[in-house]
Amino acid sequence: MLKYIQRRLREAVRFNSSRYRLYHVVADFASQAPPGSKVLDAGAGEAPFRQLFRHTHYQSADFTKVNKPYETPTYVCDLAAIPVIDGYYDYILFTQVIEHLPEPANVLQELQRLLKPGGKILITGPLFFEEHEQPYDFYRYTQYGFRYLIEKVGLSIERIEWLEGYYGTIGYQLNRIGQYLPWRPQNFRGSLERLLLPIFMVKMKLFCLLTSILFHRLELRYKHIATGYPKNYVVIASKRSVSQVEVTK
């Protein structure tokens, strides 16, 4: 019984409502792709969304330079130079990669080149997240930064939204506090501080971890976007079809 409770608690502490939201955004994008359409997962990593595209002709690209369990990509390459002909893909998935690119406009230009006219791209990236996959971590993005870069390469933005609501952002931050707060006596100076601060820090860690579970659960019930800020943005953009280009000339 105790082991069961421990396991459930560990699962609850590890639960990440942003990944839950991301999964559903990608599932919705995948459901729009007709069977057999050509899809590129750019910066696929462990390819967590591959199964959602099993009805399509799915390919992936990644430079595989970070130490993690990659799923072998179709193309091992830098995203700034993908060895595929112009206008090949109907859909491009580009999730949680843009912050890792030193020259994001070059990669967006390359993805624009690979999209068919009328094709769609799903882009997500963080506004608020700790450094990860070092040393390949360069930027965080506001919605204005996304708009500037995406429109600069000639893509049309259909929508920009918060990926998660503020409860998800809070859940994440509380979880990080719970994990990272120092609590050992040697982290502090003076005998009184060494006695009292570890007790305070351990209580804070427990409080933050438990309340992070609550906020992640709240996120699943309410996507609160009226105040606060998201952890990530999600953008759907498309490449204008030839007729649209002619009309706007």
Ligand X SMILES: C[S@@+](CC[C@H](N)C(=O)[O-])C[C@H]1O[C@@H](n2cnc3c(N)ncnc32)[C@H](O)[C@@H]1O
Residues found near ligand X in the complex (CB under 6 A)? 43-45, 48, 62-66, 78-79, 95-97, 100-101, 133, 136
CB-CB contact of 174 with 215 (8 Å): yes
DSSP 89-138: EEEEEEES-GGG-SSHHHHHHHHHHHEEEEEEEEEEEESS----STTS--
- C-beta of 56 vs 244, nearer to ligand X: 56
- C-beta of 172 vs 197, nearer to ligand X: 172
- C-beta of 124 vs 208, nearer to ligand X: 124
Q: CA dihedral defined by 119, 22, 136, 133, rounded to 10 degrees?
A: -150
Place of tokens 């608690």: 9
- Strand partners for 128: none
**Closest approach of Cβ 155 to ligand X, in Å?**
18
**Closest approach of Cβ 186 to ligand X, in Å?**
34
**Closest approach of Cβ 101 to ligand X, in Å?**
5
CB-CB contact of 79 with 100 (8 Å): no
**Closest approach of Cβ 37 to ligand X, in Å?**
19
- C-beta of 66 vs 201, nearer to ligand X: 66
